[in-house]
Every structure is written in structure tokens, then in C-alpha cells.
Structure 1
Amino acid sequence: MAMTSILNADDIKKALDAFAAPDSFDHAKFFEMVGLKSKSAEEVKKAFLVMDADNSGFIEEEELKFVLQGFSTDARDLTDKETKAFLNAADNDGDGKIGVEEFTALVKE
């Protein structure tokens, strides 16, 4: 499933352009810009499944680095600093990965 089946392609492009510079990524602003924040919990879960590249039921730190590519294949990688900040913001149980409930809560906060 492509992220464009859940979100507007123009919104995705604008958000990716806004965070094109290294160390500029802000997950809260990004989720709002792509329109994910206003989607239903079911649609947020679908977006999570796109980002869970290995279908493990979690977004691990290594997958998180490439999370923007779930929105567009030519998007940049997150820096190590951005990856750690994103993980720390979402990983409420401290297991080092983001589950679907943690992701949904992060998007909706």
C-alpha cells in the first residue's frame, strides 16, 4: 500500500520539502502537514503498516531512519539525532521500538 492511498500527494510533497534540511525534522509538525493528525485511528494504523518495512508489528530504530521514504521513495534519511529524538518521543514503554499504539498516540498528541 502506498502512503498516497491514505494521504494527499501534494501535502506529502510540501511536508517533505519543509523538512528537507538535515536535523530539521519535527514529527508533530510533519504529521500535521501531511494530514495524518486529522485521520482516523484506522488510517493512522495503515500509515504505520507502510512504515513497518519488515512487517514485525513495530518500527525499530533502523526503520525509523528511513521513515520519510515511506512517504516518498526519494525522501532523505533522518539523521541519527532525528532518529533518536523520534524514537524517544514515541517509545513510551522503553523497549527501543515503536508499536502501533505508541505511534497512534504520538500522531494524535
Structure 2
Amino acid sequence: MAMSSILNTDDIKKALDAFAVADSFNHKKFFEMVGLKTKSFDEVKKVFLVLDADNSGFIEEEELKFVLKGFARDGRDLTDKETKEFLRAADKDGDGKIGVDEFASLVKE
């Protein structure tokens, strides 16, 4: 499933452009810019499933590094610092990965 079937392509491009510089990524602003904050749980879950590249039911740290590429192929990789901050913000139960409920909660923050 393509992100463009869930979110507006122009919004995705604007958000990716806004965070094109390394160490500039802010998940709260990004989710707001792509329009994810206003989506239903089911739509947020669809986005989660796209980002869960290995279909494990979780977004692990390695997948998180490529999260922007999940929104568009030309998205940049997150830096190690951004990846760790993103994981820390989302991983409420401390298991080192992000489940769908944790992801949905993070999006709605």
C-alpha cells in the first residue's frame, strides 16, 4: 500500500522538504504536516503497516531509520540521534520497538 492512498502527496512532500536537513526531524511536527494527526485509528494503523517493513507487528530501530522513505522514496534516512529520539518518544513499554498502539498514541500527542 502506498502512503499516497492514505495521505495527501503534496503534504508529504512539504513535510519531507521541511525536515530535509540532518538532525532537524521532529515527529510531532512531521505527523501534523502530513495530516496524520487528523486521521482515524484505522488510517494510522495503515501507515504503521507500511512502516513495518518486515511485517513483524512492530517498528524496530532499524526500520525507524528509514521512516521518511516509507512516506516517499526520496525521503532521507534519519540520523542515529534522530532515530534514538524517535524510538525513545514512542516506546512507552521499553521493549525497544514500537507497536501499533504506541505508534497511534505518538501520532495523536
Say yes or no: TM over 0.5. yes
Give, as a single letter, the amino acid of the residue that structure 2 aligns with 1:9: T
For 1:44 and 1:108, locate their aligned partners in 2 and report how far apart those are by CA, in whole Å: 10
For 2:86 and 2:9, locate their aligned partners in 1 and report how far apart those are by CA, in whole Å: 23
**Unaligned stretches of 5+ residues in structure 1:** none
Structure 1 segments, 4+ long, off by >2 Å, are none
Give, as a single letter, the amino acid of the residue that structure 2 aligns with 1:79: T
Query: What are the equivalent positions in structure 2 for 1:39-54 lying under 5 Å apart?
Result: 39-54=39-54
TM-score w.r.t. length of structure 2: 0.99
**Residue 107 (str. 1) matches residue 107 (str. 2):** yes
2:14 is matched with 14
Q: Per-residue displacement from partner, 1:19-45 (whole Å, max 9, x unpaired)?
A: 000000000000000000000010000
**Unaligned stretches of 5+ residues in structure 2:** none
Report the CA distance between 1:68 and its aligned residue: 0.3
Superposed CA RMSD in Å reads 0.3
2:4 is matched with 4
For 2:65 and 2:77, locate their aligned partners in 1 and report how far apart those are by CA, in whole Å: 6
**Residue 60 (str. 1) matches residue 57 (str. 2):** no
**Equivalences, count:** 109
Give, as a single letter, the amino acid of the residue that structure 2 aligns with 1:33: M
Q: Per-residue displacement from partner, 1:40-98 (whole Å, max 9, x unpaired)?
A: 01000000000000000000000000000000011100000000000000000000000
Give, as a single letter, the amino acid of the residue that structure 2 aligns with 1:53: A
For 2:74 and 2:17, locate their aligned partners in 1 and report how far apart those are by CA, in whole Å: 11
For 2:86 and 2:38, locate their aligned partners in 1 and report how far apart those are by CA, in whole Å: 20
2:35 is matched with 35
- Between the two proteins, what is the percent identity of the paired residues? 81
Give, as a single letter, the amino acid of the residue that structure 2 aligns with 1:2: A
2:74 is matched with 74
